[in-house]
Amino acid sequence: MSGRRYWVSSPPALLEGMEGEIDEADEEKLEAVGGALAELGFMEDRDNVQLVFKTRDLEQACEVARAARAAWAITDNPLDGDSVEITAQPECPRCGRLGRFRDPFCASCGVPMLPAEDIDPDTGAVRPRR
């Protein structure tokens, strides 16, 4: 287990405002995806733009991301599943405090933060964010 916090993000399975735009079969698929994401522990982010799952366990983050991608596979839009991502939250190398994604320095001790990193859900490989 690492000190870093991993954020698994997924697009929300939205049905609101889509009345008349999708057929009943697609609506059922989105409801199934939404139920699967809720069972995995995803919650709405503060801005209701995406769903997030947070953990300090990289292996768990990868498992949850793969399960979320599998849930999205039942839809006709594979891009939604490809949008499931894992990001390691910035962390201070001196005091271990977790920072906000936009903070270059630790709010506690002023040391440059370890940067946010993207994680490949299939391999667990870490790569710097672009």
DSSP per residue, 24-73: HHHHHHHHHHHHHHHHHT-EE-TTSSSEEEEES-HHHHHHHHHHHHHHHT
Residue 74: the pLDDT is 85
How many domains are contained in the chain? 1
In-domain check, residue 59: yes
> Is the pTM above the cut of 0.85?
no
In-domain check, residue 61: yes
Q: What is the pLDDT along the chain (130 residues), one digit of tens a residue?
A: 347 899 999 988 765 555 556 778 888 888 898 899 999 999 988 776 789 999 999 999 999 999 999 998 888 766 677 889 999 999 999 999 999 988 999 999 999 999 899 999 999 998 766 6
In-domain check, residue 1: no
In-domain check, residue 83: yes
- Per the structure, the complete domain to which residue 63 belongs is given by 6-128
Question: Which single residue is written with the structure tokens 């709405």?
Answer: 44
In-domain check, residue 114: yes
